Structure formats: C-alpha cells, structure tokens
Amino acid sequence: MGTGPDPSWMFDFTGTVLPIFLAVVVGIIAVSAGRGLLQWSRNNNAPLQSIPARIVSKRSEVRQQHAQDESSRTSTTYYLTYEAEDGVRREFKVDGQEYGMSAEGDRGVLTYQGTRYHGFQRRPHYSTAE
C-alpha cells in the first residue's frame, strides 16, 4: 500500500483546526465590539461634567500605512492631558486644530462625559510684564 505521507492530516486540519481558529477569531471580534458598545453606553449614562483644569501634556501619534502599490498614507492622532484641581489627570483625543491652539499650562474649564471629550474653554491669562 502507500509509502507516502498520510493524507488524513488534511481532514483533521479542515475538520478540527480550522473551525477552532474561526471560532477564536469570531470571539475576539465579538469581545471587541462588546467593549465598544459597553463604553459607548457608559459614556451616554455618565453625567456631563465641567471642571476647572489645566493642560499638563500634549502628545501626538503618527501612523504610517503602506499600500501594495508602493504608496503610503500617514495619519496623526492628537491627545491632550488635563489635570483637575484634585490632581486627577485625564487624557482625551482631540482634533488637530484644538491641539495646535493648546499649550501646556493653559488653564480653563474642561467639559467631558465619561471618556468622551466635549471641549476646553481657556481662561485668558494676561502678562504683568510691560
């Protein structure tokens, strides 16, 4: 009879390994979607808060994506970290214009709802130097 490799391993792969792999992938996607929906629900149920705060940090994250046709695309995500008067720090994703108009040390009123950023109203500060 056959002296070659046993062909039954292929049936084990498609009958056992592949379904398990697909179940794991679907499970990961379901958990990710569930987390997103849970966070969205928590944000909707959280009270809208406006608190005195100051900007303590700015950071940006640049991502570069390469396409198959040798082109690439970059995207930048901007973050500002605010510190409340009680010392609690919160970081929020902001748009590029907000990021550009902000400086560390700016003081004002931070408005947010859960992890959702609603804005920062700067308090004007005047220099005493003439």
pLDDT in tens, 23-44: 899 989 988 888 888 888 888 8
Beta strands in the chain (DSSP E): 49-66, 72-84, 89-94, 107-113, 116-122
For residue 10, pLDDT beyond 60 = no
Which tens digits make up the pLDDT trace of 54-105? Answer: 999 999 999 988 777 778 889 999 999 999 999 999 999 999 999 999 999 9
- Contact (CB, 8 A) for 110 and 98: no
Q: Tokens for 18, please give them.
A: 């592949």
For the question of whether the overall pTM of this predicted structure is more than 0.75, the answer is no
Q: Tokens for 74, please give them.
A: 């970059």
Instruction: Let me know if 70 is exposed, middle or buried by CB neighbors in 10 A (0-12, 13-18, 19+).
Output: exposed
DSSP string, 2-26: --S--THHHHHIIIIIHHHHHHHHH
How far is the C-alpha of 75 from the C-alpha of 87, rounded, in Å?
32
